[in-house]
């Protein structure tokens, strides 16, 4: 309201007219859908992300396992929003928020920090993987959240096979060879399940004929889950199905096993059977996430995972016109349970906040409290199987895989070149090929 009078008088007085300014932090599903929901609003919207692209995270495991090139699942934010003239995109890193002065602080390439003033702020900066207080495990066990994470994991997986092939063919190298051909995925959620299934297929099918000294089919893939079943967010019958399907692909599923250490030589675990070490050159972390540092930026309390508990209109208590959505927020559903940290939830929240801000600016009544509509749970196991739980429908097996595929192509509509990616999938499905098996870049440790 203050802002509105400001605009009003500003215009009357011939001062620089200033439309209300909405700053959105993060160009993931939440931020993008918030921006799109305000497409027809007479306002200035600034969308800030430290990357120049929007990433379709549900398929990131395909990049990490050399199935898709990064650019098939990530598109420049600018080109997605180029027709929406009320949006400016800024590629920059957020260093803090001054909620008193209503400014976002950015680490710009300029010598001084750029201060971005806002009338409304939408924080949708997502999450990173969490090592539960053991950040030192990161180097040995990278997580999968960004394109650079995915190409790092891809490089490690492919290099492990290359290095095993380099070894002398004698028994002295047996231990080293086994270590190189051992792949450990920590965490039995959908990402862990999808990674494990795809790596097993990579070894058993795609790479099978490519080596001369080693047999990639001897690679061992282990999926470690601390709880008593994988896919804990699914119904137990789906967990059982997924476990069997993974075992059929050659994946060793270890439930009730807790990782107590990760280093360059593998992992240390603990379970009912007692502590144990597993030697492995490649360890991937899919066990937990924590929010981006939103609590520090906004100077408000967070929960244990760094998320900000928000009110039923996704606003932050004590701050005016500040909203947190997606993986950066803890949103409680009408039944009091937290809304899951998945793409459809972030999209719904983004759209809701966009509508709420629109109503506020147009001085219309605010929409009722946010209600989450759960669309379902999906996870694929290799290229032949999937588990799907829609409300009232549970499916597993080959049909579920095809529904998963069609659903994702449908999600991809609205992004650039969905046809190219569909075509590539079909091609790779038919040929069992994995077209993006490049080892690029270098690591310190290499």
* Binding footprint of a copy of itself on the chain (CB under 8 A): 51-53, 69-72, 74-76, 78-79, 82-83, 87-92, 108-110, 114, 147-148, 151, 158, 162-163, 165-168, 206-207, 209-213, 416-417, 419-420, 423-424, 427, 431, 433, 435-442
Which residue bears the tokens 């990278």?
142
**Size of the chain, expressed as the number of residues it contains:** 446
Which residues are paired to 268 by β-bridges? Answer: 261, 277
* C-beta separation of 117 from 18 below 8 A: no
The Cα–Cα gap between 310 and 415 comes to 30
Shorter beta-carbon distance to a copy of itself: residue 206 or 349: 206
The Cα–Cα gap between 207 and 313 comes to 50
Which residue bears the tokens 């806002």?
118
Kindly give, in sequence order, each residue whose CB lies less than 8 Å from that of residue 50, ignoring residues fewer than 6 positions away: 91, 92, 93, 94
Alpha carbons within 13 angstroms on the beta-carbon side of residue 432 total 12
32-42: b (≥16 Cβ within 10 Å) or e: bbbbbbbeebe
β-strand pairing of 289-291 with 282-285: unpaired
For 74-190, strand residue ranges (E) read 74-76, 87-91, 93-98, 103-107, 114-117, 120-123, 127-129, 182-186
Active site annotation includes 194: yes
Quick one: tokens of 419?
Answer: 């046809």
Torsion angle, alpha carbons of 323, 329, 331, 336, to 10: -140
Shorter beta-carbon distance to a copy of itself: residue 83 or 100: 83
Shorter beta-carbon distance to a copy of itself: residue 369 or 438: 438
State the nearest-atom distance from the C-beta of 216 to a copy of itself, in Å. Answer: 10
Shorter beta-carbon distance to a copy of itself: residue 52 or 255: 52
Q: Which DSSP category does 104 fall into?
A: E
State the nearest-atom distance from the C-beta of 257 to a copy of itself, in Å. Answer: 30
138 exposure class (CB count in 10 Å sphere: 0-12, 13-18, 19+) = middle
State the nearest-atom distance from the C-beta of 437 to a copy of itself, in Å. Answer: 5
State the nearest-atom distance from the C-beta of 264 to a copy of itself, in Å. Answer: 13
- Of 162, 165, 178, 194, the catalytic one is 194
Shorter beta-carbon distance to a copy of itself: residue 140 or 300: 140
State the nearest-atom distance from the C-beta of 168 to a copy of itself, in Å. Answer: 8
Shorter beta-carbon distance to a copy of itself: residue 362 or 438: 438
Shorter beta-carbon distance to a copy of itself: residue 235 or 417: 417
| Residues with catalytic roles | 194
């Amino acid at each position: 309201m203050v802002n509105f009078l400001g605009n009003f008088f500003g215009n009357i007085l011939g001062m620089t007219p200033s439309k209300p300014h909405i700053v959105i932090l993060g160009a993931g599903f939440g931020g993008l859908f918030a921006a799109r929901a305000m497409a027809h609003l007479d306002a200035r919207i600034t969308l800030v992300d430290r990357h120049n692209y929007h990433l379709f995270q549900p398929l990131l495991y395909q990049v990490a396992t050399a199935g898709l090139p990064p650019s098939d699942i990530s598109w420049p934010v600018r080109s997605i929003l180029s027709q929406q003239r009320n949006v400016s995109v800024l590629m920059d890193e957020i260093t803090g928020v001054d909620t008193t002065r209503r400014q976002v602080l950015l680490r710009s390439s300029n010598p001084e920090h750029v201060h971005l003033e806002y009338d409304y702020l939408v924080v949708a900066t997502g999450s990173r993987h969490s090592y539960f207080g053991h950040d030192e495990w990161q180097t040995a066990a990278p997580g999968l959240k960004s394109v650079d994470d995915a190409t790092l994991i891809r490089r490690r997986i492919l290099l492990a096979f290359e290095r095993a092939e380099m070894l002398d063919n004698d028994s002295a190298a047996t231990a080293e060879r086994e270590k190189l051909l051992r792949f450990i995925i920590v965490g039995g959620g959908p990402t862990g399940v999808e990674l494990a299934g795809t790596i097993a297929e990579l070894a058993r099918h795609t790479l099978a004929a490519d080596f001369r000294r080693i047999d990639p089919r001897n690679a061992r893939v282990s999926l470690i889950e601390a709880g008593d079943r994988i896919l804990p967010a699914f119904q137990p019958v789906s967990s059982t199905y997924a476990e069997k399907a993974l075992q059929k692909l050659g994946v060793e599923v270890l439930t009730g096993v807790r990782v107590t250490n990760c280093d360059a030589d593998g992992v240390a675990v603990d379970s009912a059977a007692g502590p144990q070490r597993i030697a492995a050159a490649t360890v991937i972390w899919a066990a937990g996430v924590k929010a981006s540092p939103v609590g520090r930026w906004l100077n408000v309390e967070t929960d244990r995972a760094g998320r900000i508990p928000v009110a039923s209109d996704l606003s932050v208590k004590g701050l005016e016109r500040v909203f947190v959505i997606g993986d950066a927020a803890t949103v409680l559903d009408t039944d009091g349970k937290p809304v899951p940290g998945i793409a459809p939830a972030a999209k719904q929240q983004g759209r809701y906040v966009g509508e709420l801000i629109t109503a506020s600016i147009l001085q219309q009544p605010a929409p009722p409290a946010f209600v989450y509509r759960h669309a379902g749970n999906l996870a694929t196991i290799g290229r032949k199987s999937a588990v799907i739980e829609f409300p009232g429908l549970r499916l597993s097996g080959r049909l579920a895989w095809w529904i998963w595929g069609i659903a994702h192509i449908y999600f991809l509509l609205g992004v650039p070149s969905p046809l190219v990616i569909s075509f590539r999938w079909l091609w790779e499905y038919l040929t069992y090929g994995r077209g993006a098996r490049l080892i690029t870049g270098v690591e310190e440790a290499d």
